[in-house]
Chain A
Amino acid sequence: MPNRKIIHIDMDAFFASVEQRDHPELRGKPVAVGGGGDRGVVAAASYEARKYGVRSAMASRTAKQKCPHLIFVKSRFDVYKQVSAQIRAIFAEYTPLIEPLSLDEAYLDVTENLKGMKSATLIANEIRQRIRQTTRLTASAGVSYNKFLAKLASDHRKPDGIFVIKPEEGEAFVAQLAIERFHGIGRVTAQKMHSLGIQSGADLRQRTEDFLRQNFGKSGGYYYRIARAQDDRPVEPDRIRKSVGSENTFAHDLDTLAEMQSGLIPLIEDVWQWVERTRVYGRTVTVKIKLNDFQTLTRSRSSFLPIRERKFFENLAFELLEENFPLPLPVRLLGVSLSNLEDSQPFEGKQLTLNF
């Protein structure tokens, strides 16, 4: 594959920065976006809050212990979406190959770009400048020759920074990295790697693909390649949605099946509203159950034909829930999702089905 030019753009503490921009009194203070209640979760933390160890996805109660004067702000998703659309419009001036990862993050393939610019670093800086002018927010950029390295790079000089990993530097960069920093290696995998004597990218590189596959299954092949800074995944502009789901952390733990069923109904309703609006039907129902010790169970079941009736969807979800009974502990969170989505727009080679 010829060398590509990939940029990863990541807004700095996105939700929190938007709040600080719109509420000057919050500037320079530790801010967390999300519910401050007993069971709330931090959706985003400002850099001031991060100094105290507050992180996104942290339980609000833990966050308050780490930073007692933390200010909680309610999220305003409509505003975040609006800003997100602004930055995407900027990206679109440079390349059609944009793969958004979330509201505040995207990969751009600028190998061939609309401005005919040779330097990806110049493009990245121009984009960061335009974002600052348009939104009064800062973004960090990573520039490299594949998605894996570009994402690592954007993290390297955060906030408001840019970092470039050139083709000849990729392998060395990965070698010195602690494996916790690798995208796709979580806490549990990292612990397992430590127990196998793998601390850094260089350690990982010494292992054979067979060894990694034996210890980590399918992901082993991915680890083997990223240890060599290889990543052939293309930037995919039209990433089609693979699933739709809804979940809720309840104000108090649920014990009985009846409580959980009634807790599941609004989630089913959420998902079904999406199905009815988009007319995209799924074949697989997944139910997620998080116990109050944070242990998570997921159970799923697939139908041969797309699920076109809400009642059928609900029955499957209830069945999956019931089959997990009795549960060892009370339930903190429930989620339900639909996957194996079938677009109502027919495509080549698709077997059509009767409308049952």
Chain B
Amino acid sequence: MKFVVSSSVLLKQLSAINGVVSTNPIVPILENFLFNLENNTLTVTASDLQTVMITEIEVEGGDKGAIAVPAKLLLDTLRGLPEQPITFNVDEETFGTEIVSDNGRYKLSGENPIDFPKTPSVNRGQSVDFSSTALGTAIANTIFATSTDDLRPAMTGVFVQIGTENATFVATDGHRLVRYRRTDIQSAADTSMIIQRKALNLLKSCLPAEDVPLKAEFTASNAFFSFNNIRMICRLIDERFPDYENALPTNNPNTLTINRMEMLNSLRRISIYSNRTTHQVRLKMEPGKLSISAEDLDYSNEANEKLMCEFNGDPMEIGFNAKFLIEILSNLVCKNITFELSAPNRAGLIIPVEQEDNEDILMLVMPVMLNTYA
């Protein structure tokens, strides 16, 4: 098998799917890219058994064949080469692979392509069309709130519900929760699934900067995404997602509306003075005024700031982990946010005041107990 390809084109495509190749995979063959050549199209597959990424590249050479090539060795070689056409010569008996550049030859020992795991195929999947930016935004808004607790696998992914009117993305680790809804993603029939955090991270990092059409298909066990010349297949988390709807408090008589950046910057300063393990900050709310304070008894450090806000309800004090608030506020993009609260031991909701036309964002954070509340 022989083909010629531009070194930079190959590098760009391989880099897009390289994230799925782990350094210490369960089976050694997964340290390789699988090359399949047919009709001047080179199809490259990378896999970690849970997630498979595939890209297609136009090459010169009418051969047909396959080879598994060590991913790291190949990428390191390509990164070091100036842009030029390079020739691959593959001996399909010995799996020896030779790359010929302008002024050199590089020999890699490949592996038998037969050993590479088979890619699951789409079989009567439910198909949904997205725009790539819609999906990218949904991932960015939710993925930070997923859990890392492998004992509760359901919460290590993002729950995706697509219906006839909208699509809802939910992530939670039990301390905070994000519900992100878009009305511009719809499906003919209701479908729901939990997609692994790692797969979504990979997807997010290879989505193009410009908006392109993206096609998604879902089966009972896998999700398929395709855009440009990239395809991703990821295994779904086969678990029941927690009943998040019931966790959202509905009766929140106290509301506080405030400039997001002002509050975020204040929290960043105040949190420096908070206890290093709990990161606890105290929010004291009264009409027109929010004071944010923190103290670290171990080091006798304390700080407080007063911010202008709009507050409706009974004056109250509530404690939060500053890290959670900072993470939530910095993931939002709106100018103003509203906190909806009921009591110092109940969940607080954070809702952007200005929402995009087809977006509906709701974030929830659980408080930290203050000593004034018994």
- Could you say which residues of chain B place their CB within 8 Å of the CB of A347? 369
Measured CB to CB, the nearest residue on chain B to A316 is B151
- Could you say which residues of chain A place their CB within 8 Å of the CB of B366? 351-354
Partner of A350 from the list B147, B172, B347, B369 (CB cut-off 8 Å) is B369
The contact size tier of chain B is 20 to 34
Question: Quick one: CB contact mask for A124-160 with B, threshold 8 Å, 1 for yes?
Answer: 0000000000000000000000000000000000000
- Could you say which residues of chain B place their CB within 8 Å of the CB of A349? 275, 278, 280, 319, 368-369, 371
- Could you say which residues of chain B place their CB within 8 Å of the CB of A294? none
B110 at the interface (CB under 8 A from A): no
A296 at the interface (CB under 8 A from B): no
CB within 8 Å of B: which A340-356 residues: 346-356
Taking the closest CB of chain B, its distance from the CB of A187, in whole angstroms, is: 36
Contact assessment for A354 and B149 in the assembled complex, using a CB-CB cutoff below 8 Å: no
Contact assessment for B345 and A304 in the assembled complex, using a CB-CB cutoff below 8 Å: no
Measured CB to CB, the nearest residue on chain B to A315 is B151
Measured CB to CB, the nearest residue on chain B to A352 is B366
Contact assessment for A303 and B151 in the assembled complex, using a CB-CB cutoff below 8 Å: yes
- Could you say which residues of chain A place their CB within 8 Å of the CB of B177? 354
CB within 8 Å of B: which A277-328 residues: 301-305, 316
Contact assessment for B347 and A354 in the assembled complex, using a CB-CB cutoff below 8 Å: yes
B338 at the interface (CB under 8 A from A): no
Question: Quick one: CB contact mask for B107-137 with A, threshold 8 Å, 1 for yes?
Answer: 0000000000000000000000000000000
Measured in the bound complex, the distance between the Cα atoms of B48 and A92 in whole Å is: 64
Q: Given A303-B152, A304-B147, A355-B247, does the pair A348, B370 have CB atoms closer than 8 Å? A: yes
Partner of B368 from the list A303, A305, A352 (CB cut-off 8 Å) is A352
Measured in the bound complex, the distance between the Cα atoms of B149 and A352 in whole Å is: 17
- Could you say which residues of chain A place their CB within 8 Å of the CB of B147? 304
How many residues does chain A have at the interface if contact means C-beta atoms less than 8 Å apart? Answer: 17
Partner of A346 from the list B275, B345, B347 (CB cut-off 8 Å) is B345
B155 at the interface (CB under 8 A from A): yes
Contact assessment for A301 and B175 in the assembled complex, using a CB-CB cutoff below 8 Å: no
Q: Given A304-B174, A349-B369, does the pair A354, B151 have CB atoms closer than 8 Å? A: no
Q: Given A301-B151, A348-B369, A348-B370, does the pair A353, B175 have CB atoms closer than 8 Å? A: yes
Q: Given A304-B148, A304-B151, A349-B280, does the pair A354, B368 have CB atoms closer than 8 Å? A: no
Measured in the bound complex, the distance between the Cα atoms of B364 and A355 in whole Å is: 13
- Could you say which residues of chain B place their CB within 8 Å of the CB of A302? 151
Measured in the bound complex, the distance between the Cα atoms of B151 and A301 in whole Å is: 9
CB within 8 Å of A: which B353-370 residues: 364, 366-370
Contact assessment for A351 and B149 in the assembled complex, using a CB-CB cutoff below 8 Å: no
- Could you say which residues of chain B place their CB within 8 Å of the CB of A304? 147-149, 151-152, 173-174
CB within 8 Å of A: which B129-166 residues: 147-149, 151-152, 155
Measured in the bound complex, the distance between the Cα atoms of B151 and A302 in whole Å is: 8
- Could you say which residues of chain B place their CB within 8 Å of the CB of A354? 172, 174-175, 177, 242, 247, 347, 364, 366
Contact assessment for A356 and B155 in the assembled complex, using a CB-CB cutoff below 8 Å: yes
Binding site for A on B (CB under 8 A): 147-149, 151-152, 155, 172-175, 177, 242-243, 247, 275, 278, 280, 319, 321, 345, 347, 364, 366-371, 373
Binding site for B on A (CB under 8 A): 301-305, 316, 346-356
Q: Can you list 9 pairs linking A and B with CB atoms under 8 Å apart? A: A303-B149, A304-B149, A304-B174, A346-B373, A348-B370, A348-B371, A351-B368, A352-B369, A356-B242
